């Protein structure tokens, strides 16, 4: 760049899933490639996919991917407010990486008004140690009924003293009206903050949009920073809103006919439980060429499965009731009778236990678990947040890496599945040594673990799937190096942004005329 960028920029959007996270990730990698000390930021995120920062707190998964793109350690400063839905009208509120209680839809706006100071303070602290901070908005930037409690869009940008651009999505249609509406609907005090727009997901020749772009620039007296094409490739999804893309990538189908899976491939079913959390755990399985993965909602969909996974959930007891009500427990028993394997991850692990004591998440007290693992679960107020490394003795001592995010503590009497140690830099919590011993367990074909991200490690994923294939009289060969694949995907994203957007001008919004 000919000069350093401004101190910050906000990438806002005309709605959810218009490409904000993708653009921020690409911009961060673009800066990192050019030696700019840059960091991601999102004042408020609502997501069930989360990660553990090196300073010990919990943040949204999207900011973990963005920190990776920026080449910096993940910090709770990058996502000071995280909301994790636990019921239709109730969510867990996480501030500064730690849960502080629950909120309902009725008192959330008032709560948000009180949090703006915390959000701006986190942004300013992050700015002190970085040349540039690229912030991501949330949802639509023109939700005029929510401006009083805005923590991630224009109210935040004004308080932080940074400019913003709005991203519009061409794919569903109406992009010009949507962008125009954003500029005209926002209150006058925020209008100077919104400096321009980007159009995303442009198919074919973007020249057809020129007349509309010129009209917007003229009428709004604003700037256009470029068009982005539809970008093929992979990045971890932010939340369940992206499950449609995941299902497409996994070739999900309502039918369970063998004609819909490739001959000899391992057939993996992830049960789509209510309040599904951290479904990015299974991205590496989707990307494996010899694995056919499906997210399923019916027990009949398990009929041809080699492996069934009960994933994490933010509502373990509710999800357990849903499994029983929908007939999944007999289907899991039939799976084991056929020689298939069953894996529970975090909440899914807890559901496989014999007994659950929960006066924290659901407040129901004692609940009978499925009972396929000899284990008891007790939910505690203090949330376990830890990054871990270790090995899997049952799978050739393959290395494993991952992270723990849960209230439910599992005391298992089965064989241990992993030997774990805390990663350097992980914050200590009470009971940490017990949790390192607990980690995961197995009983024959049934496995359970409280650790997310175990399939990211090529060593464990390959060993686990190879053992499953042998048990099913097949051979599995991995062709995936997941870490390299993700890095190449982020690099490709930065390359597309470099050729499609006026990146230098975009990152110097504070130097543009207001």
Give the active site residues.
346, 452
Write down the residue that tokens 């727009």 correspond to: 197
Cα 426–427–433 angle (5° rounding)? 85
In 3-state terms the chain splits into helix, strand, coil percentages (rounded to 5) of 35, 30, 35
For β-strands 312-313 and 307-310, DSSP reports them as unpaired
Bridge partners of 148, per DSSP, are none
Contacts 24+ apart (CB under 8 A), 180-189: 180/216, 180/219, 180/220, 181/142, 182/14, 182/140, 182/141, 182/142, 183/220, 183/222, 184/220, 185/142, 185/144, 186/141, 186/142, 186/144, 186/154, 187/144, 187/147, 189/158
Other CB atoms within 10 Å distance of the CB of residue 509 = 24
| CA dist., res. 225 & res. 82, Å (int) | 30
Compute the chain's Rg from CA coordinates: 23
Cα 196–198–199 angle (5° rounding)? 140
| CA dist., res. 360 & res. 358, Å (int) | 5
| CA dist., res. 352 & res. 184, Å (int) | 53
Region of residue 471 (left: phi > 0; alpha: psi -120 to 50; beta: else):
alpha
| CA dist., res. 404 & res. 51, Å (int) | 8
Query: Phi first, then psi: what are they for 286, rounded to 5°?
Result: -60, -35
Task: Name which of 44, 13, 189, 14 is nearest 111 in CA terms.
Answer: 44
| CA dist., res. 434 & res. 409, Å (int) | 9
Task: Name which of 293, 225, 291 is nearest 19 in CA terms.
Answer: 225
The size of the chain, in residues, is: 514
CA 222 to chain centre: 33
């Amino acid at each position: 760049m000919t000069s350093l960028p401004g101190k910050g920029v906000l990438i806002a959007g005309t709605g959810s899933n218009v490409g904000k996270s993708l653009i921020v990730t690409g911009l961060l990698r673009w800066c990192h490639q050019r030696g700019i000390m840059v960091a991601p930021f999102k004042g408020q995120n609502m997501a069930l996919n989360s990660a553990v920062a090196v300073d010990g707190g919990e943040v949204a998964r999207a900011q973990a991917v963005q920190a990776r793109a920026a080449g910096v350690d993940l910090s709770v400063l990058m996502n000071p407010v995280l909301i994790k839905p636990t019921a239709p009208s109730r969510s867990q509120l996480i501030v500064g990486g730690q849960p502080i209680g629950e909120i309902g839809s009725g008192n959330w706006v008032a709560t948000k008004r009180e949090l703006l100071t915390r959000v701006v303070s986190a942004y300013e602290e992050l700015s002190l140690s970085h040349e540039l901070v690229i912030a991501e908005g949330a949802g639509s930037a023109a939700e005029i009924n929510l401006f009083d409690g805005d923590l991630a869009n224009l109210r935040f940008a004004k308080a932080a003293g940074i400019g913003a651009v709005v991203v519009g999505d061409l794919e569903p249609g109406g992009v010009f009206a949507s962008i125009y509406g954003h500029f005209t609907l926002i209150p006058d005090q925020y209008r100077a903050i919104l400096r321009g727009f980007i159009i995303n997901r442009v198919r074919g020749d973007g020249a057809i949009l020129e007349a509309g772009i010129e009209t917007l620039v003229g009428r709004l007296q604003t700037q256009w920073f470029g068009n982005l094409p539809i970008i093929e490739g992979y990045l971890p999804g932010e939340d369940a809103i992206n499950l449609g893309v995941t299902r497409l990538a996994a070739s999900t189908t309502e039918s369970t006919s063998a004609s819909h899976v490739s001959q000899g491939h391992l057939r993996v079913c992830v049960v789509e439980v209510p309040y599904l959390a951290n479904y990015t755990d299974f991205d590496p399985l989707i990307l494996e060429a010899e694995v056919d993965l499906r997210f399923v909602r019916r027990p009949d969909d398990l009929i041809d499965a080699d492996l069934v996974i009960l994933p994490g959930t933010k509502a373990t007891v509710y999800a357990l009731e849903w499994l029983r009500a929908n007939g999944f427990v007999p289907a899991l028993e039939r799976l084991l009778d056929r020689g298939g394997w069953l894996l529970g991850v975090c909440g899914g692990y807890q559901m496989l236990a014999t007994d659950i004591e929960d006066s924290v998440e659901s407040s129901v007290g004692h609940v009978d678990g499925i009972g396929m693992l000899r284990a008891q679960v007790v939910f505690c107020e203090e949330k376990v947040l830890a990054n871990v490394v270790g090995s899997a003795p049952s799978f050739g001592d393959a290395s494993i890496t991952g992270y723990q995010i849960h209230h439910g503590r599992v005391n298992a009497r089965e064989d241990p599945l992993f030997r774990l140690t805390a990663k350097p830099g992980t914050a200590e919590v009470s009971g940490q040594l017990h949790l390192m011993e607990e980690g995961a367990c197995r009983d024959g074909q049934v496995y359970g673990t409280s650790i997310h991200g175990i399939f990211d490690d090529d060593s464990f994923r390959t060993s686990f799937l190879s053992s499953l294939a042998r048990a099913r009289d097949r051979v599995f060969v991995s062709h995936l190096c997941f870490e390299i694949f993700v890095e190449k995907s982020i690099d490709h994203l930065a390359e597309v942004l470099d050729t499609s957007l006026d990146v230098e001008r975009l990152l110097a919004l504070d130097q543009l005329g207001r």
